[in-house]
Structure 1
Amino acid sequence: MFFNALHRIYTGFIGPPTARKQDDAIRFGLLGASNIAPIALVGPAKSHSEVIVAAVAARDRSRAEAYAKKHGIPIVHSTYEDLLQDSSIDAIYIALPNSLHYEWALRSIRAGKHVLLEKPSCSNAEEARALFNHPLLKAKGAPVLLEAFHYRFHPAWQTFLTRIHRDPEAGQVKNAFVQQYLPKGFCPNDDIRWRFDLAGGAMMDFGTYTMSCLRQIFNQEPTEVLEARFRGLLTPLPDLQDAGQIDQAMNASYRTADGKTGTLLADLSASGDWPLLPNSWTKSLPRLGWPKCEVELEERVIEDTDGRVHGVKRNVTMWNHLAPSVYHRVDVEDTHTIRVGDRVVKSWKESKKEKAYKWPSCDIRANDEQEWWTSYRHQLNEFVNKVKGREGSGVWVDGDDSIRQMEAVDETYRKAGLLVRPSSVFKL
């Protein structure tokens, strides 16, 4: 198992095989020399025969040139607009600061380019509605636009959802909890995540994942934010604009129209809570641990005859949904109870632990995927399928989904007493 994990990590993130490129491969341009692009696109593209990362543009040309040399990107453009006007480029990957997503997604679409857009799609719901409902995206043959919630595309996440929504022994979702955090010290004080004018904050970073997870678990939209508590910056820089509006961590609870409840915790500077040690000893130390989703389902009656009732109550936990190719596990625990009237006659538990590094061979979605494929590689595969007009796995994030996502994020900020992130002045 250890060597399998090493193989997945090395092949998926460090040394993916280089595929022979097809003549009609999609040629990507990168807007920005970002830290995430090598993991999210450059690496996955190497093993995809229909994708070439062909160009990059950054605010600083010398930085773009160094980035291109490091990652084997043949073309460097001096400006973002020059990249959009490059007729050899078919698609744009946008990993700019959040506040620039709306403008450069629209500019890319206007230039006729497909767009893979890093989350969050926009700074707020108003921008999301303007972007995803724009006439340019409604026209025949419009470019493909995808908000890059990569975790959704991995078979592990879909297996997790199956155990909640599509398994015959699963009841209705009752309650859910999702947590993701970065260890204290990971983000320096001058990180752009702490800039309100750049649409920063925990809810705009890891919080977007936790919110997306809850919405997927609910299988509907939350109608009420029950509570939202944030931790602000402990030592903001003196010149940090609107530092009081930045959430370093967010803890929020929600309810749906039919009574489902859920809680998210997103922390970009987590400390303490080490296992087996008093928190007083570890509260100043960086916190370590896997991202986690826990779901409690209502009891489902599977047999009701002659006053004898057999019910099953399920709990499902997914560990490390964010990087499942490194390691993940889906824990399913079913508590069976047999009652006669109000009397419990028998009770027992059945547990199983599952992993899904690729689609099962019997699944119609199974194709040529490998166990080392990262969630980003699965996402890229579906992006290509959409551009090429192929059916694919059926997993997607459509425009309405992205709009509702930002509406939920905005409502969380309002409930917490914080301002919604500011809109761009760009108009098209």
Structure 2
Amino acid sequence: MGAFISRIWHIFISPAAPVPKSENALKFGILGAARIVPMGLIVPAKSHPEVIVQAIAARDRTRAEAFAKKHGIPEVKDSYEEIINDPTINCIYIPLPNAFHYPWALRALAAGKHVLLEKPSVSNAAEAVTLFSHSSLSLPNAPVILEGFHFQFFPSWQLFRSLIPSTEIAYVSSESQLPAWMIKDDDISLNYKLAGGAMMNLGVYHFAALRLLFGSEPEECVSCKSDSFTEGPQKGCDFRSHATFKFPGGGIGEAKCDLKGGKMYKVDFTTVRLHDKVIPTPSLPASQEQIKSRTLTLWGMMHGILWHRIDIIDTFTIRDSTTKAVVKTWKEKSTRKAYTFDEAGGEFTGLKGGKDWMSFRYQLEEFVNRVKGRETQYWIEGEESVRTMKMVDLAYEKNGLGARVGMGEVGGVKGQ
């Protein structure tokens, strides 16, 4: 508990003083004063010597001014276009409602700006294909675009993946739940016209996790059961979903997400069960065999800096080779944690990071490295984002609600 409180204190309450900025620091402009902005960019930028949060614009200038004053942002612009067209701004951070990700990312790329884009990158797979194949991305000195699946950059997730041979996976379940009081019915994340829904806001994390763990794309969405709104602006939005996918080789992946859970927050988790193995055991009689079953669970996948734990449970069974009758069974359990790459050890030892770095800070480090033309420790290519959105479309088609609809390239509704 003491370590948990210390992390919260140093990250959110009393962070270290901002580091001096380099002469060639990247200047970021923010589109929208969204809730995620402090955690997604402002706090991580304070400890990065090559990042300056320079400007912000919002639908309501008064709101943008208050936000800028609170977070020490030097400039407030009158519009998103003004930020994108500012020649002193290098990078655009887009934390807008889902439906606005696509049109504003297109405009930023067309202006030659690098784009850090909150998940989900777009509203549907068709938009993803268009966005991540934008003509500007094939030019010399092409702009960089990254969908912010921040958890993938954190040491605990990378350690977890390294412990799992993708070809040996039989089953994966990835789940999260938010208490009902946290997301109100009128929240933008549950607005159909803004491409809302539980799978768009939580499910995409789990869909991406399934793909990465299996190391392949699903053959089909076997089922998708959802509880959804039937009237008002929320009509057509799922607030609770359970999607099941079949992967090559017969592996099954389940993703559960709930925006209307119980009163208490529940830690998200991802559990992987490997195929059973026969363990050669010369000391056993010829009529018996030993079976090993392994299950690995990562608790706290999405915000590992707050708390996480990797449980590794091996179940050993001695049984009759012919009848399969169990003679003896026992379990062996071990746990791992990795708040830094050095704590992960092995192949990760020496990789850059800090004990107070959130997943967003690791993500920002790699984004800057890619923009600067340096080698990255980890990266999410655009094709990965496209494939995740294809899973989202499959699930929405299976539950009958239909793929989310975006604003198109022009858009007709103001952002946040």
Give the alignment partner of residue 354 of structure 1, picking from 323, 336, 341. Answer: 336
Whole-angstrom CA distance in 2 between matches of 1:186 and 1:315: 32
Give the alignment partner of residue 175 of structure 1, picking from 163, 167, 171. Answer: 171
Are the counterparts in 2 of residues 14 and 43 from structure 1 also a CA contact under 8 Å? no
Residue 200 of structure 1 pairs with residue 196 of structure 2: yes
Are the counterparts in 1 of residues 102 and 408 from structure 2 also a CA contact under 8 Å? no
Whole-angstrom CA distance in 2 between matches of 1:335 and 1:222: 28
Whole-angstrom CA distance in 2 between matches of 1:247 and 1:345: 47
Name the amino acid aligned to 1:155.
P
Q: Residue in 1 aligned with 2:371?
A: 387
The equivalences for 1:204-283 within 5 A come to 204-233=200-229, 240-241=232-233, 243-271=234-262
Are the counterparts in 2 of residues 174 and 261 from structure 1 also a CA contact under 8 Å? yes
Q: CA deviation at 1:336?
A: 2.8
Q: CA deviation at 1:91?
A: 0.5
Residue 81 of structure 1 pairs with residue 81 of structure 2: yes
Whole-angstrom CA distance in 2 between matches of 1:111 and 1:382: 22
Q: Residue in 1 aligned with 2:12?
A: 13
Residue 288 of structure 1 pairs with residue 268 of structure 2: no
Whole-angstrom CA distance in 2 between matches of 1:126 and 1:119: 16
Q: Unaligned 5+ residue runs, structure 1?
A: 272-285
Name the amino acid aligned to 1:359.
F
Change (3 A) 1:415 1:368: closer
The C-alpha deviation readout for 1:172-227, integer Å capped at 9, x for no partner, is 11111111111012112221122111101111101111211221222211111111
Moved more, 332-341 or 253-262: 332-341
* RMSD after superposition: 2.0
Q: CA deviation at 1:165?
A: 2.2
Give the alignment partner of residue 276 of structure 2, picking from 299, 318, 324. Answer: 299
Q: Residue in 2 aligned with 1:312?
A: 292
TM-score calculated relative to the size of structure 1? 0.89
Residue 99 of structure 1 pairs with residue 81 of structure 2: no
Residue 369 of structure 1 pairs with residue 325 of structure 2: no
SS at match of 2:340: coil
SS at match of 1:265: strand
Moved more, 316-325 or 132-141: 132-141
SS at match of 2:331: strand
Name the amino acid aligned to 1:372.
D
Whole-angstrom CA distance in 2 between matches of 1:198 and 1:363: 42
The C-alpha deviation readout for 1:270-319, integer Å capped at 9, x for no partner, is 12xxxxxxxxxxxxxx2431001111110234537695755422100111
Q: Residue in 2 aligned with 1:283?
A: none
SS at match of 1:9: helix
Are the counterparts in 1 of residues 20 and 49 from structure 2 also a CA contact under 8 Å? yes
Question: What is the percentage of aligned positions where both structures have the same residue?
Answer: 41
Residue 378 of structure 1 pairs with residue 362 of structure 2: yes
Whole-angstrom CA distance in 2 between matches of 1:8 and 1:93: 26
SS at match of 2:267: coil
Q: Residue in 2 aligned with 1:321?
A: 301
Q: CA deviation at 1:12?
A: 2.2
Whole-angstrom CA distance in 1 between matches of 2:199 and 2:26: 33
Whole-angstrom CA distance in 1 between matches of 2:179 and 2:164: 30
Whole-angstrom CA distance in 2 between matches of 1:315 and 1:75: 51
TM-score calculated relative to the size of structure 2? 0.92
Are the counterparts in 2 of residues 8 and 373 from structure 1 also a CA contact under 8 Å? no
Q: CA deviation at 1:340?
A: 6.8
Change (3 A) 1:297 1:127: same
The C-alpha deviation readout for 1:228-276, integer Å capped at 9, x for no partner, is 1111137x5xxx33x33111111111111210001111111112xxxxx
